[in-house]
Amino acid sequence: MIKMSPDGLLSEAIAYGGMLLILGAFILETRDVLDSKNGIYLLMMATGSGLLGIRAFLVEEWAFLILEVVWCLAAIVAIYGITRKTSLDEQHLHE
């Protein structure tokens, strides 16, 4: 089993992975490549903030953990809303 310490290599990789996902989503959105309501954008934000939330927990940064958990949940709720709307739209097309 891999030991995960707050200052370990795996912990750092989690932090950098989360950061790259969030920054990537932001850059793509500001360059009009993705819309902030696009599923890929939201998935990148949810995954990135989830990874940063794990890192915040490991290093006991509680305010940052709360921020990342809320950000992740907001993205997940938005993904659910998009998925639900798409499903309802498809049902209406087949009626």
For the segment 1-51, what is each residue's pLDDT rounded down to a tens digit? 555 667 788 999 999 999 999 999 999 999 999 999 999 999 999 999 999
Maximum CA extent, the chain? 56
Q: Which two tokens stand for residue 72?
A: 């992740």
Per-residue pLDDT tens over the stretch 41-87: 999 999 999 999 999 999 999 999 999 999 999 999 999 999 988 77
